[in-house]
Amino acid sequence: MTMILVTGATGNVGRPLIDLLVNEGAGVRAVSRDPGAAGLPAGVEVVAGDPSRPDTITAHLSGVTSVFLNPRAVGTAAGELVDLLKRHEVTRVVTVSAINCDDDPARQPSRYRGELNKEVEDAVVGSGLEWVSLRSSLYASNGIGQWAAQIRAGDVVFGPYAAATAAPIDERDIAAVGARALLGDGLLGRRVELTGPDRLTQREMVTTIGDAIGRSLRYQEIPPDGARNAIVGIGFPEGFADALLAMQAGSIERPAPVTGEVATILGRPALAYARWAADHAEAFQRSAA
């Protein structure tokens, strides 16, 4: 049986990926900092470890042939971790990356949340192992962190750059492509650019969420300085706020790309943002009085 080690196992990509791998009959060993709280399916071997400290997963590499790397889980330890995998019998590494990872770091807000996508991708590509990099667009679930609190409180979402664009991808599609990359050979040696099926403005994304929850929502644009203060005020680093605003501003002049890779690889359309919003409507609903 194929044994796959999954990092970021309880995350938005790792969790559905595990379900897909189990359904395909693969052996799955999931790394978690808190195995008791992981809540993973029966049959999954859950082990304690921290991929940002590679020595903590050495004992779990026995029999592993493929590894799924989550950049946030790996942190700055990608090179050390890849060297460790090479010393064992791992033959393939699949990593999540970002479609903008070659852009100016000042326009990559995810870097300020510990996602060193470029560094992890470079380590994987240069490893000498079989590799695939899944360069994804904006995660659809970012809408929860950005807007859910405001939507639960009222019908107006305040934010910068209403015309900023993205092609948000449902994380379940990233997981599905990840399963193909781990279990088949068709994507080897590729940096695969994955997006949702549609390019949407921030205003259109908020309207779509409103349709999913049966409310008429409105996006009210505010000046970037005000947005920056609000982002920093809820605890994000100043660098994150600056990079996010720069990325959004740039996406107006240079609209976000839309690729057809999900449909080509999976043989079905990529999941629409409206579908994601409907499936996650509870996150935006007001609590019952």
Q: In this structure, how many other beta carbons lie within 10 angstroms of the beta carbon of residue 254?
A: 9
CATH number of 3-139+169-195+257-271: 3.40.50.720
User: What's the rounded Cα separation, in Å, for the pair 272 and 289?
Assistant: 32
**Domain limits of the chain?**
3-139+169-195+257-271
**Per-residue pLDDT tens digits for 70-97:** 999 999 999 999 999 999 989 999 999 9
Which neighbouring-strand residues pair with 136? 98, 194
Q: Are 94 and 265 in contact (CB under 8 A)?
A: no
What CA–CA distances, in Å, run from 282 to 14, 168, 171, 278, 288?
Answer: 21, 19, 17, 9, 12
User: pTM for the whole thing?
Assistant: 0.96
User: What's the rounded Cα separation, in Å, for the pair 70 and 17?
Assistant: 12
Average pLDDT over residues 111-118: 93
Lowest mean pLDDT among 45-54, 149-158, 166-175, 228-237: 228-237
**Per-residue pLDDT tens digits for 165-185:** 999 999 999 999 999 999 999
Band (pLDDT 50/70/90 cuts) for residue 287 is confident
